[in-house]
Amino acid sequence: MDIDDILREVDPASQSIPAETRDLQALTRAWVSERSSPELLQYVHILPYPPIAPTTPVLTRRFPSVYSWPADGLFERINDRIKQQIERVEEMTGDMDPKTNFALIVIQTELERFKYLVRSYLRARIAKVFEKSIAATADLRARLSETEQAYATRHQALLHNHYLSSFLSAFPPTLQNLNDTAGNISMIETPDLDTAVFIRLLKETLVEGHGTDMDDDMDGKSGDIVILRWSDAKSLVDSGHAEVV
């Protein structure tokens, strides 16, 4: 730590939230959203910001989705840090100094917490891939990361082959597909977008919601917790006015 660091620490103007904390907030938000929303959300890392000329006014920029806040490679960054931290743990276990020992415990505890977050996030996504045959629709495929796409395709192929070998082969060829939409019933299971969710407003905004007996709107204040349909909440969440809780 040199004098500049010390000065920066005491200067309130530059006292912003450290990048690591911001990443943790972004990861946590992505995890909570994925756990609580009925449909599969955009994978956090494949949404790079469109290259923005520095002169573009902020308001006119198009944000692809709220999950792109950490678009500057959040997942890669966190994975890199986890790897580095594991290396550090390996180095630290070498020396048996009791003083560093406690620091090691703390680091390992935190490492486990991070790994849990990442794992639970990915598992929540895979669970949705399992339930809804997402590999079949192009729109949903675009929300997956590359590895998830490969996984979803392979899973779908395995499942179909298994069905084919066990019973579908006895059917006439026209009935062997898994993506029929004949008779107004689609075989592709889609999530119910009207499922209700809880959201927390992050900014003041107008909240509009569709109801059975009437359509409502209200002036929301930041910090409000609102129950409404996911189809109504999605635009608010996407624009960063709210987060799913």
Partner 1 sequence: MALSLPSGLVPTEVAFLCEMEMITIVPRQRLESIPMLSGKTPALRPPRRADLPLWLALLLKKQRRANIVPPPWLLPASLQEIVHLETNYDPEAFSPPPPPPMRSDGRGVARPYATTTRSGNEDKELILAPPFLPSCTQDAPSGYLPYHWLEIAETLLAHAADDIPNAPEVRALLRDLQEVRAAKMRASTRHLEGGGGVLNIRGVGAMELAESRGFVLGVVDGVRKLGASAEAGRREELERGDDEDESDDDMGL
Q: Considering only residues 181-200, where is the footprint of partner 1 by CB under 8 A?
A: 194-198, 200
Answer yes or no whether residue 15 interacts with partner 1 by CB under 8 A: yes
Only one of the segments 132-140, 142-150, 168-176, 215-223 lies at the binding site for partner 1 (rule: CB under 8 A); that segment is 215-223
> What angle (nearest 5°) sits at the alpha carbon of residue 111, between those of residues 80 and 96?
105
Q: Provide, rounded to whole angstroms, the least separation between the CB of residue 91 and partner 1.
A: 12
Q: Provide, rounded to whole angstroms, the least separation between the CB of residue 170 and partner 1.
A: 28
Specify the residue, 97 or 180, whose C-beta has the smaller distance to partner 1: 97
Answer yes or no whether residue 150 interacts with partner 1 by CB under 8 A: no
Only one of the segments 52-60, 133-141, 142-150, 168-176 lies at the binding site for partner 1 (rule: CB under 8 A); that segment is 52-60
Structure tokens at 142: 């675009």
Applying the rule CB under 8 A, the residues between 70 and 129 that interact with partner 1 are 72, 78, 81-82, 85, 88, 99, 102-103, 105-107, 109-111, 113-114, 116, 120, 123-124, 126-127, 129
Map residue 161 onto helix, strand or coil: helix
Answer yes or no whether residue 161 interacts with partner 1 by CB under 8 A: no
Answer yes or no whether residue 18 interacts with partner 1 by CB under 8 A: yes
Specify the residue, 137 or 231, whose C-beta has the smaller distance to partner 1: 231
Answer yes or no whether residue 134 interacts with partner 1 by CB under 8 A: no
Cα 120 to Cα 47, 55, 85, 89, 215, distances in angstroms: 21, 40, 20, 23, 36
Q: Provide, rounded to whole angstroms, the least separation between the CB of residue 82 and partner 1.
A: 7
Applying the rule CB under 8 A, the residues between 62 and 81 that interact with partner 1 are 63, 69, 72, 78, 81
- Phi and psi (nearest 5°) for 166? -90, -40
Q: Give 226-243 as a DSSP string.
A: EEEEHHHHHHHHHTTSEE
Q: Provide, rounded to whole angstroms, the least separation between the CB of residue 10 and partner 1.
A: 10
Sign of CA dihedral 53, 56, 58, 60: negative
Answer yes or no whether residue 53 interacts with partner 1 by CB under 8 A: no
CA distance 220 to 208: 10
> Rounded to the nearest 10 degrees, what angle do helices 19-36 and 74-94 cross at?
120
Beta-strand ranges (E) seen in the chain are 196-201, 205-209, 216-220, 225-229, 242-244
220: DSSP letter: E
Specify the residue, 57 or 172, whose C-beta has the smaller distance to partner 1: 57
